[in-house]
């Protein structure tokens, strides 16, 4: 049976990867962060989100997903708007995690009879 939790969390990470990639030009244009550091942070978080979206079959990957949400909020110390965007993605991640798990449990209970 396909896990809805994994699918939903993967979708959130996919959307978040786009936002993380777009933080790079914002850091270069609006902050004093050197472009090399901005590229490493933006591209690094983008790659982590994409790779992690594919690794969600492993239970540990969900823990790393929570860490990515914390990193997104922490990016607000460099780009203040990321406090808000990070909080939005944290709420989306929590919703996908909790609701997906509940639906997976209910589907499994229904399948058992």
End-to-end CA distance of the chain: 15
Q: pTM for this structure?
A: 0.91
**What confidence score (pLDDT) does residue 113 get?**
76
What pLDDT was estimated at residue 82?
Answer: 95
Helix (H, G, I), strand (E, B) or coil at 81: helix
pLDDT at residue 2, rounded to an integer: 82
pLDDT-based confidence at residue 50 (cuts at 50, 70, 90): very high
Give the orientation angle of helix 35-54 with respect to helix 4-30, to 10 degrees: 170
Confidence band, pLDDT 50/70/90 cuts, at residue 37: very high
What is the pLDDT, as a whole number, of residue 1? 63
């Amino acid at each position: 049976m396909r896990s809805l939790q994994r699918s939903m969390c993967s979708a959130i990470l996919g959307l978040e990867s786009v936002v993380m990639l777009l933080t790079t030009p914002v850091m270069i244009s609006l902050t004093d962060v050197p472009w090399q550091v901005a590229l490493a942070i933006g591209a690094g978080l983008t790659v982590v989100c994409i790779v992690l979206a594919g690794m969600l079959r492993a239970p540990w990957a969900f823990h790393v997903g929570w860490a990515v949400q914390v990193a997104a909020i922490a990016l607000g110390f460099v780009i203040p708007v990321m406090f808000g965007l990070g909080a939005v993605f944290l709420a989306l991640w929590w919703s996908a995690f909790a609701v997906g798990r509940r639906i997976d449990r209910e589907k499994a209970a229904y399948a058992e009879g």
